[in-house]
Amino acid sequence: MIPVSFILNGKPVRCEVPAEETLVDTIRNRFRLTGTKKGCGTGDCGSCTVLLDGTAVRSCTLLTGMVEGRSVTTIEGVGTMDHLHPVQQAFVDVNAIQCGYCIPGMVLTAIALLRENPDPTEEEIRLAISGNLCRCTGYQKIVEAIQLAAERMRTTGEEAAR
């Protein structure tokens, strides 16, 4: 067991984990943050995407020991049902969500993209989410939602406050 301290959704946390434990299991099993989904466990589907110091990463291929001292954001740290992040709001508004299993990872990937690039082209959006598999939507409304979120965020500057 190794001790690990990191920032989880803005709060400092500490745990002891086996050296081989991956971040997705730590997040889900130890902190009971079940918004992060485990779709494959092999780094292929992107359902377990979280933000590590603002960058979208797959938490199933990241050892928990590697996040020592770093900042991890899960979907629970992004918005609440009463106060959605503009990306979340756009996903709801255009019905970009079907079964919803890929959505937390998809939202976090989109947030990371829009921080880097507030005005992405459709191609840039497609490239950014190409590591997040969705089997329900054909990505059409997801791309539209990210475009809508980008437009709204550029207009309101809401993201800057976060």
Partner 1 sequence: MKEKYIGTRAIRPDTLAKVTGAARFTADLAMHRTDLLYAKALYPPYAHAKILAIDTSEAEKAPGVVCVMTYKDLPAAFRNAYGADEPDKPILAEEKVCYEGDAVAILAAETLKQAEDAIQLVKVEYEPLPVYEDPLEVREIHPSPIHKDHVASGDSPVSLSVTVKNGETQPAFDQADIVVDHWYETPTVDHAYLEPDVCIAEPDPIQGGITIWSPQHAIQNAKQDLGAVFGLPQSKIRIISTVVGGGFGGKEDSTYDVSTVAGVLALKTGRPVTFEFTREEVFRNTGKRHAEKIHHRLAADKEGNLLGIDVYAAIDKGAYRSVDILPYRASYYAGGPYKIPVSLAKAESIFTNHPYGCAFRGLGVPQANFAMESQMDYLADTLGVDPLQLRLQNIARAGDRLHMGQVMLEERGLGLEECLRKAAEAIDWDHRTATHFYENQGPVKKGKGIAGFLYGIGTGSSPDGAHCLVQAQKDGSFNVQVSQSELGQGLLVAMAQIAADGLGVPIDKIQVDFADSAASVFAGPTTSSRSTMYVGNAVLDACRKMRERFLGYAAQMMEIGVDNLDIEDGNVVVKGKPKQFLPLSAVIAGAYTAQIPLAAIGSWYPPRVYFNETFTNDQMHTYTFGACAVELSIDTRTGLIDVEKCVLACDVGKAINPSTVEGQMQGGLAQGIGWSLMEEHFFDHGRMKNATYHDYLIPTSMDLPDLETIIVEHPSDLGPCGAKGIGEPPLVATAPAIRSAFHDATGLFVDEIPLTPVRVMKALKDAGRIE
Which residue ranges make up the site for partner 1 (CB under 8 A)?
28-29, 32-42, 44-45, 47, 74-76, 78-81, 84, 88, 91-95, 97-104, 107, 125-127, 129-143
To partner 1, the closest distance from the beta carbon of 115 in angstroms equals: 18
To partner 1, the closest distance from the beta carbon of 136 in angstroms equals: 5
To partner 1, the closest distance from the beta carbon of 147 in angstroms equals: 12
What span, in angstroms and rounded, lies between the C-alpha atoms of 22 and 5? 14
To partner 1, the closest distance from the beta carbon of 149 in angstroms equals: 11
Tell me if 144 sits within 8 A of 136, measured CB to CB: no
Q: Which is nearer to partner 1, 36 or 64 (CB)?
A: 36
Distances (CA, A) of 144 to 3, 22, 86, 91, 102: 42, 33, 13, 8, 16
Distances (CA, A) of 135 to 65, 99, 101: 32, 9, 9
Q: Which is nearer to partner 1, 15 or 133 (CB)?
A: 133
Q: Which is nearer to partner 1, 37 or 150 (CB)?
A: 37
Q: Which is nearer to partner 1, 38 or 152 (CB)?
A: 38
To partner 1, the closest distance from the beta carbon of 159 in angstroms equals: 16
What span, in angstroms and rounded, lies between the C-alpha atoms of 161 and 77? 14
Tracing tokens 């959006």 back to the chain, one arrives at 125
Q: Which is nearer to partner 1, 67 or 85 (CB)?
A: 85
Determine the distance from the C-alpha atom of residue 108 to the mean position of all C-alpha atoms in its chain, rounded to a whole number: 3
Query: Of 90, 70, 71, 68, nearest to 79 (Cα)?
Result: 90
